[in-house]
């Protein structure tokens, strides 16, 4: 599929066992030169040799850079180390950068590709479910500051996204399930059929179809609203409360999936209280999300969540855009003041 935005047309390939096409795809983007393969210490032992081998076979020169695994390395220090690596290896704008890994690797490498020499072409090869259905597509990239997550970043569409769903087979259940929170989110906001498929089946049995569906939704939204000022905001369902849960727990108590899962249930409940979401929707989401091992209760007092929401970078003039469900599969952007939000935030 193609994702056409003002800045670029990205090609997105989704399938099983397509990782070895990486070299051929790089070759279609640059006729000769170097490919910096940016990966992390968890993913490198699994796939780095294969990807570098495929690049070599295509007649290009791979240069491997391994980041220590973990969100704590998603910072400007790591970015700076990669800039130095690229400069020392004489990378120019006619070379290429390839991100091989989960969301953290994709974010860091995407940001480097947006800024090194004012921009160098890039390929994303996501290896986790959350990266395959969300972060590798749409061009948001960035790094954290001590003051907060993703405070530095860019919109930078990759040239190519290679989504090999067979890589998910070796993912441990906890990492796979963590990505299921984002999959459930697509069902909630856009796609009742997807939600019902998840209710009735084991997602591992339909994973390629599920990833294609989710990426299709993401591409549609990004096409309409690359810069996140309208429709794309719907992807934030569950994330206003979810980010606040992560922040209140100092980003260590909950994974992103756990926080978003609890956030979706809570935001569905807020929608019910406001009379926008049909009663019983939050229970239906709870039943589905529990199957992936998520806790669905708010893990801290509502007051703490509200305090963390107040510091959200998306708040303007005491108002934020909350995403609410009109039904499973249908969402709306609902502007709300912090005062109104407080009045509907129950324990």
Task: Decide: is 269 part of the binding site for ligand GLY (CB under 6 A).
Answer: no
Task: Decide: is 130 part of the binding site for ligand GLY (CB under 6 A).
Answer: no
Q: Could you identify the residue written with the tokens 């952007």? A: 333
For the chain, counts of helices (H) and of strands (E)? 13, 11
User: What string marks each residue from 223 to 242 as x (binds ligand GLY by CB under 6 A) or -?
Assistant: -----x---x--x-------
Task: Decide: is 140 part of the binding site for ligand GLY (CB under 6 A).
Answer: yes
CB of 259 to ligand GLY, least distance (A): 13
Query: Among residues 34 and 140, whose Cβ is nearest to ligand GLY?
Result: 140
Q: CA 214, CA 173: separation in Å to the nearest integer?
A: 20
Q: CA 333, CA 321: separation in Å to the nearest integer?
A: 6
Contacts of 49 (CB under 8 A, 6+ apart): none
Q: Could you identify the residue written with the tokens 């993913």? A: 43
CB of 319 to ligand GLY, least distance (A): 20
CB of 232 to ligand GLY, least distance (A): 5
Token pair, residue 8, equals: 């670029």
Pairing of strands 148-155, 96-101: unpaired
Query: Among residues 209 and 228, whose Cβ is nearest to ligand GLY?
Result: 228
For the chain, give percent helix, strand, coil, nearest 5.
50, 20, 25
Task: Decide: is 104 part of the binding site for ligand GLY (CB under 6 A).
Answer: no
Task: Decide: is 256 part of the binding site for ligand GLY (CB under 6 A).
Answer: no
Stretch that binds ligand GLY, among 24-32, 86-94, 132-140, 268-276 (CB under 6 A): 132-140
User: What string marks each residue from 172 to 211 as x (binds ligand GLY by CB under 6 A) or -?
Assistant: ----------------------------------------
Contacts of 75 (CB under 8 A, 6+ apart): 143, 144, 145
Applying CB under 6 A, the residues found at the interface with ligand GLY are: 134, 138, 140, 228, 232, 235
């Amino acid at each position: 599929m193609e994702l056409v935005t003002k800045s670029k047309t990205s090609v997105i390939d989704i399938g099983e066992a397509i990782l070895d096409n990486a070299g051929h795809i790089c070759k279609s983007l640059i006729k000769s030169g170097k490919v910096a393969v940016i990966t992390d210490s968890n993913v490198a032992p699994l796939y780095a040799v294969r990807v570098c081998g495929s690049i070599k076979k295509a007649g290009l020169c791979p240069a491997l850079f391994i980041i220590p695994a973990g969100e704590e390395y998603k910072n400007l220090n790591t970015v700076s180390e990669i800039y130095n690596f690229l400069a020392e290896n004489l990378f120019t704008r006619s070379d290429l950068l390839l991100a091989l890994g989960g969301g953290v690797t994709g974010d860091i490498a995407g940001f480097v590709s947006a800024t090194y020499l004012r921009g160098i072409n890039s390929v994303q090869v996501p290896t986790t479910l959350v990266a395959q259905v969300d972060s590798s597509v749409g061009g948001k990239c960035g790094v954290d500051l001590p003051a907060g997550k993703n405070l530095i970043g860019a919109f930078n569409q990759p040239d190519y996204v290679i989504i090999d769903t067979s890589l998910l087979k070796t993912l441990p259940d906890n990492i796979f399930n963590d990505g299921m929170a984002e999959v459930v989110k697509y069902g909630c906001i856009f796609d009742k059929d997807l939600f019902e498929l998840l209710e009735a089946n084991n997602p591992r049995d339909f994973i390629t179809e599920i990833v294609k569906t989710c990426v299709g939704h993401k591409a549609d939204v990004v096409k309409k609203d690359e810069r996140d000022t309208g429709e794309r905001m719907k992807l934030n369902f569950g994330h206003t409360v979810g980010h606040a849960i992560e922040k209140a727990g100092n980003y260590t108590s909950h994974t992103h999936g756990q926080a978003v899962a609890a956030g979706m249930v809570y935001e569905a409940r807020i929608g019910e209280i406001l009379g926008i979401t049909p009663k019983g929707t939050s229970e239906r989401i709870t039943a589905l999300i529990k199957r992936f091992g998520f806790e669905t209760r708010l893990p801290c007092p509502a007051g703490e969540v509200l305090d963390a929401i107040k510091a959200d970078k998306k708040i303007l003039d005491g108002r934020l855009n909350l995403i609410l469900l009109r039904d499973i599969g249908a969402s709306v952007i609902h502007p709300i003041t912090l005062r109104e939000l407080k009045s509907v935030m129950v324990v």
